[in-house]
Amino acid sequence: MFQKRGLKKEEKGFFANHKLAITSTTLMGTVIGAGILGIPYVVAQVGILYGFLLMLFLGLAFLVINLFVGEIVLRTKEQHQLSGYAEKYLGKWGKRIMTFSLLVGLYGALTAYLIGEGATLYSVFNFGSPLLFSLIFFIITFLIIYKGIKATGKAELILISLLFLVVLLIGIFSFKQISFSNLTHSNITKLFIPYGVILFAYMGLPAIPELQEQLGKEKKKLKSAIIIGSTIPIALYTIFSIIVIGVVGLGNFELLGSNDKIATIALSIYSQPILGMFANILAVLAMFTSFLTIGIALSEMFEYDYNFSRRISLLLTFSIPLLITLLKLSSFIMVLGITGAIAGGLDGILIVLMYWKAKLKGNRKPEYSLPKLKWLGIFLMGLFALGIIYQIWTNFF
């Protein structure tokens, strides 16, 4: 499940012979993370019908954005990550904004995982405090990253498979507990409250350049992998939200503390304890591997791209999330919302602009090519811009 930093293992057997399945699941593993734990509460506020429409709409919007990234990658001979493609097609300003967006997204995710792990572990063990468990989790993961050990892709694949199984089991064993009155609530005046959290739940853009590396000579499968990896989370989020909201309900959610509105914690309180416990443990493991992956990626960016020493890189990576958590400057749901709206919105706007430029300046014939989709691109940029403005205004003014 873990390997020493710098070692690359050649895949064999199933992992080599089923590249479409593996690349699709890799994208899903990047997309599905803390976001799924925050969606039920914010959707409960607006109602499952409007929440479903918003999940579907934003999910399809990010499917388009993901396909744009796939074509950008395939139109470029050189191998880059998102900031590199932004520099190639938008210049220095594009790289700077993409780097800023990347930092907001990574710091936001690390903070959300740190807060979420503390609350979830406290729910599992029921002693001490959430902050104590956040600190224990921080120390363990910091030491692992300091030693240079990282989670392999197989760990993510296993955890995603277990997540589907847990959702199925929760649905089966909690079906009789679902109150359909909890699913009839609606409040369209709160339609935009779930926006940032849902957008966070669909963010997985940095994985796409890696997918084409996994596919090797089978790059023609990239489009299918992106479609599969982008659409299955929509279905999973919808089913999971219906189950959790049906069991818990908005009224019970509102009785919980700000960091107890995590879906698995709510289930452990209001559903069968065994299922809640299992769901919480899986959430802990999923956030654990994601925290390692993101922490390593951010520290290596500081170390390799900006030539900071390893110790300074680790300090820059972990000091901000730790301070936000220690000083209780934000809640789990708030971090998801702000990060999703700002980082996801900036990413979306830049990707549309990069896509149009790549159509003109790309130096490689792509394995698939979409239309320019000018009006759709303008609409998406307007949507993302309004989302950024709304989230900043509601949280900081």
Q: What is the rounded CA–CA span in Å between residue 286 and residue 282? A: 6
E strands along the chain, which residues? 2-4, 149-151
DSSP states of 97-164 = HHHHHHHHHHHHHHHHHHHHHHHHHHHHH-SS-HHHHHHHHHHHHHHHHHTTEEE-HHHHHHHHHHHH
- Other CB atoms within 10 Å distance of the CB of residue 291: 28
Q: What is the rounded CA–CA span in Å between residue 276 and residue 18? A: 33
Query: Given a cut of 90, is residue 15 above it in pLDDT?
Result: no
Q: What is the rounded CA–CA span in Å between residue 138 and residue 387? A: 31
Strand partners, 150: 3
Query: Given a cut of 90, is residue 333 above it in pLDDT?
Result: yes
Q: What is the pLDDT of residue 279?
A: 83
Q: What is the pLDDT of residue 209?
A: 85
Please report, to the nearest 10 degrees, the dihedral formed by the alpha carbons of residues 256, 259, 262, 264 taken in order: -80
Residues whose CB is less than 8 angstroms from the CB of residue 19 and which lie 6 or more positions away in sequence, other chains included:
214, 215, 216, 218, 221
pTM for this prediction: 0.89
List, for residues 185-240, the tens digit of each pLDDT value.
Answer: 999 999 899 999 999 999 988 888 878 877 888 889 899 999 999 999 999 999 99
Query: Given a cut of 80, is residue 99 above it in pLDDT?
Result: yes
- Other CB atoms within 10 Å distance of the CB of residue 186: 15
With bands split at pLDDT 50, 70 and 90, how would you rate the model's confidence at 154?
Answer: low
Q: What is the mean pLDDT of residues 355-382?
A: 95
Q: Which two tokens stand for residue 47?
A: 């109602």
Domains in the chain, CATH or no CATH each: 13-396 (1.20.1740.10)
Q: What is the pLDDT of residue 12?
A: 55
Query: Given a cut of 80, is residue 36 above it in pLDDT?
Result: yes
Give 38 or 304, the one with higher predicted confidence. 38
Q: What is the pLDDT of residue 11?
A: 53
Query: Given a cut of 70, is residue 3 above it in pLDDT?
Result: no
Query: Given a cut of 70, is residue 172 above it in pLDDT?
Result: yes
Q: Which of 110, 46, 38 is nearest to 258 (CA)?
A: 38
List, for residues 177-189, the tens digit of each pLDDT value.
Answer: 889 899 999 999 9
With bands split at pLDDT 50, 70 and 90, how would you rate the model's confidence at 293?
Answer: confident
Strand partners, 151: 2
Q: What is the rounded CA–CA span in Å between residue 195 and residue 68? A: 21
CA distances (Å), origin 388, targets 92, 97, 343, 358: 22, 14, 9, 25
